[in-house]
Amino acid sequence: MPMLMRCLPPLLLLIVLFTSPRAVLSQGSAGLDIERLQRATVFVVQARNVGDDLFVTCIGSGTIVKRDGLILTNAHNTLISQACPGETLIIGITNNLSEPPILRYRAEIAQASSGLDLALLRITRELDGRLIEADTLALPFVELADSDVVQLDDTITVIGYPGIGDDPVEVRRGTVIGFVAEPSGGQKSWIKTSAVIPGTMTGGAAYNQDGKLIAVPTTAPLTVGVLDTTCQPIQDTNADNAVNNSDICIPFGGFINALRPSNFARPLLRAASLGLSLDLLNVPTAQVGGGGTPNFKRLFFSPSVNEAGMPTSVIRSLPAGSNSLYLFFDYENMTPETVYELRVTTDGIPNPTFSLAPVRWSGGERGLWYLGSSGQPWPNGVYEFTLFANGIAAPTARLVIGGAPETTPTFSDIIFALFDLQNNPFGNGFVLPTGNIATARFLFLKMANETEWTSIWYLDGVEFSRQTNAWNAGTSGSATTSISSQTGLPPGSYRLELYITNRLAATSDFTIAGAAQGALPEIFTGEGFTTASTPEEAIAAAPLSSFPAGIANLYARFNWQQIAPGTLWTMRWTVDNEVFYQQTVPWNTLESGQNFLIRLSAPGGVPDGTYRMDLLVNNVQLRSTQVQVGIGQLPIDPFAQASGVQLRGQILDADSGQGIPGVAFVLISEDYSVSEFTWSQNQVYALAVTDRNGRFQLDRPLQLSTEAAEIAYSAVIAAKGYLPINADGIVVDETTDNPLDITVYMIRD
C-alpha cells in the first residue's frame, strides 16, 4: 500500500465524496456485504512439529473480530487434545474469493473455553516466524450481534471453508428453525438452522441481515478410533512416499445443525481485547472421580426447568399444543473432550429441529443435565430420544405428544430449605448449610388419601434414606419431607426422588455445604484483593479496596469451609459490570482451607476499571466483592456500539467507469491528520476494502458533529496502480443522509 499520498484540497475531496451520484450496494441489503464478510473469514490449521516438518492435525474456519488480528473460532480444533495433538496454529486468508486460502500467519490462543467450544486466536507472526506488532495490522473484521434477539424463522448467512484447504470460502444460507437449551447457557444455548453446513466449516460464522455475527457453527469429530469417525489423510506423515490410511488422519465432523450464539463469546472477547488473564495459584488438588467410560442414564422428561436448572416435575406424555419440553438425564465420567449427541425421531422420521449434532461436552464429570426447548411448537407424534457419548448410544426414551392433559396425581416444584421456629422456610432453595436436618417442600395435585408414595434421598449417588407412607395430606396443596442425622449431614451433592405408587413423579438435586449463617450457607469467607510481586507476598499482604493505575498484578483470595470435592461451583469476574471470565467446574481441592489465590494480570498492567469477583454454587450467588483500579473505569470503552452515519459506496476508474477491486478506504481518527498518519492501528477509525465491483462499506459509523463539538475525520484512499487520494476535515451532522452512499473516481498513475 503506497505510503506517499497525493494531497487534494479538503473542499475538493468533500465535493467528490458527498455530491457524486449514489451507488447501490450489491447483495440486495444495506447491511449484508458478503464479500467483506468473506474477506474477514480465515482458514485455521492446527499442526504438529516433527523435526523440520509440519504435519496438519486439525482444520476449521474462523472469523476476524478485531482489525488487529483477533480471530473467533472453535476450541476443539485449536486446543491440544487427543484428537487434535498439534501445538502450532497457522492462519490462511483469501486473496481471491474464487481461490483457496493462502497460509499467511501464525497465531496463538488468546482465550479459550473448552466447554463452550469457543476460542480467540491472536495473530502474532508471519508464516516464516517473524514477529508482527499488533498495531501494524489493519485486517477486515466483523462485529458481534446480540444473539439473544435472534428469533425463529430469521434468515441467516453462514460463511466458512467447506473443504480441507483446497476450496475457496463459501456461503450457505438458511433460516433459524429452533433453539436448544442446556444448563451451560439457558434457553439459547444453541441456535438450530436449516442451512446445510459441512463439518469442515466448524468455527466459521453465521450472520444476520445486518451483516453482524450472531453465532459460530460448531460440531466436533468423534475421537480417533471410533468406527464412524470422519477423517482424511492429506500428508505423507510416515515417510513411505504415499498418502493413505497409514498416515495421520485429519478428523472432521458430519453436517452441522447447531450454532453456538455469539453472546457466549463476549466474555472471551472482552478478556482478550484487554489482555486479561486469570491464574489459580496455591490451591492443593483433591482427587475427584475415578475415570471410566462416559455414560448417560436415568432419562426422563419435564415440561419446564426452574432457576436452579432442575425439572419442575416428571411426565410421561404431553398434551396437544405443547411448546415446552426438556429431556433430563444423569451423566458420569464425562470430560471436556467427550463428544455427545442427541438424535430425535418423530413417528420414526429423523427430526433435525430437536436433535443436536455431535458437540463437545460443556458440563462437569458427573451430575444431572438437560436438553430441550421452550417457546416453540412441539408437533403431535411419538418421539424417541437417543443420546450418544463418543458414538456409543445410551438407552432410548420415548414420549407421546398429543391428546388431553394428564389426569394422574402429580408432585412438582421441589425446593429445599431450613425452617424457623414458626415453621416458615428460609434460604435459597438449592444450597443448604451443614446441619442435622434438610427439608424439601413440594406441590401436589389430584392426590387421593391412602395412595402409596415414597421419598428417596441420595448423597453423592448413594442411597441415604428411604421412606414409604400412605398419603394423608388431601387432594392439592404443598407438603414437606425431611432427612436428618444426629451426627450432622455431611457436605456433598444430594438428590431427592419422589414416587407415587412406584412412578417417579418429581426429582431434584441440591447441595449441602458451608456453615449456617442466616438464610445462606457460609462457604466462602475472608475474600479480598491485594497486589504483590509474588504469590507468597500476596497471601501475607493486607487487603485493599483500591489500587493505583498500572499495577502489574491484582490478586484475589478467599477462604472456604465444608464444600465437598466434586461440588459444582462458579467463579465469575466482571470489569465495569461486563463479564470477562466465568467458569463452572467441580470443586477439586480440600473440603476446608485458606488462601484460595487468584492472580489477574495483563500486558502493560491491569487496565483501569472496577473489578468484581462473584462466587456461586448451584446458580446461587453466595459472595461478591469488588475493587477499583486507577480511575475505576475503562478510560475508553472499546466495546461501546457507536451510532452515527453509515458510509458506503463505490470506487470507480475515472477513465473506464469500472469498479476497482482491492481499494483501501481508511478513515483516520479525529485525533490525527493525514500528515500525522503513520499507518498505526490506533490511528485508524474505520477501514474498508472494495469488493470486485469496487463497492465498500466502512466497518464503523461516523459520529455526528454538533455545535458544541465538531468531529473532523481525515481520509486516505489508496490502490495499486492509481494515484492515492487523501484529505482532512471530513464532517457529518444530523442533516447528512444516513446511510450515506457515495461514488469516488480514481485516476491511474
Average pLDDT over every residue of 668-687: 85
What does the block give as the cell for 18?
Answer: 458527498
Q: How confident is the model at residue 306 (pLDDT cuts 50, 70, 90)?
A: very high
Q: How far is CA 228 from CA 154, 199, 296, 580, 679, in A?
A: 33, 14, 20, 38, 51
| CATH assignment at residue 354 | 2.60.40.10
Residue 677 has pLDDT above 60, yes or no: yes
Domain-embedded: residue 584: yes
Say yes or no: 665 and 651 in one domain: yes
Residues 209-246 pLDDT 10s: 989 999 999 998 875 444 444 666 666 666 667 666 66
The domain that contains 714 carries what CATH number?
A: 2.60.40.1120
Residue 14 predicted with pLDDT over 60: no
Q: Give domain status of residue 277, yes or no.
A: no
Q: Which of 22-26, 183-187, 497-501 has the highest mean pLDDT?
A: 497-501
Residue 291 has pLDDT above 90, yes or no: no
Q: Are residues 478 and 527 in the same domain?
A: no
**One domain for residues 207 and 103:** yes
At 585, is the pLDDT very low, low, confident or very high (cuts 50, 70, 90)? Answer: confident
DSSP category for residue 18: H
Same domain? 24 vs 49:
no
What domain range is 425 assigned to? 410-517
Overall domain count for the chain: 5
Residue 189 CA: distances (Å) to CA of 101, 197, 259, 372: 31, 19, 9, 10
Q: Which residue has the cell 448451584?
A: 618
Read off the pLDDT band of 3 (50, 70, 90): very low
Q: Taking the mean position of all CA atoms in its chain, how far away is CA 16?
A: 44
Indicate whether 130 and 116 sit together in one domain. Answer: yes
What CATH code is carried by the domain that includes residue 566?
2.60.40
Give the span between the Cα atoms of 663 and 690, in whole angstroms: 5
738 domain-assigned: yes
Specify if 4 maps to a domain. no
Rounded Cα gap, residues 429 and 306, in angstroms: 11
698 lies in the same domain as 595: no
pLDDT of residue 130: 93
Q: What is the 3-state secondary structure (H, E, C) of 264-312?
A: HHHHHHHHHHHCCEEEEECCCCCCCCCCCCCEEEEEEEECCECCCCCEC
pLDDT of 231 reads: 66
Q: What is the dihedral of CA 576, 577, 582, 586, to 10 degrees?
A: 120
Q: 201 and 228: one domain?
A: yes
Count of positions (residues) in the chain: 749
Residue 280 within any structural domain of the chain: no
User: In the predicted model, is pLDDT for residue 464 greater than 70?
Assistant: yes
Per-residue confidence (pLDDT) for residue 739, from 0 to 100: 77
Convert the pLDDT of each residue in 28-68 to its tens digit: 334 578 888 999 999 999 998 887 788 888 999 999 998 88
* pLDDT value at 519 more than 80: no
Q: Do 143 and 176 lie in a common domain? A: yes
Q: What is the mean pLDDT of residues 594-604?
A: 94
Residue 300 pLDDT > 90: yes
| Strand 593-601, strand 647-653: pairing | unpaired
46 & 162 share domain: yes
Written as nine digits, the cell of 390 is 463418543
87 and 234 fall within a common domain: yes
What average pLDDT does the structure give for the chain? Answer: 87
- Looking at the structure, tell me whether residues 72 and 172 fall in a common domain: yes
- Predicted TM-score (pTM) above 0.75: yes
Statement to judge: residues 128 and 71 lie in one domain? yes
More confident call, 71 vs 82: 71
Write down the pLDDT at residue 445: 96
C-alpha separations of 215 from 35, 159, 206, 258, 541 in Å: 18, 11, 5, 9, 44
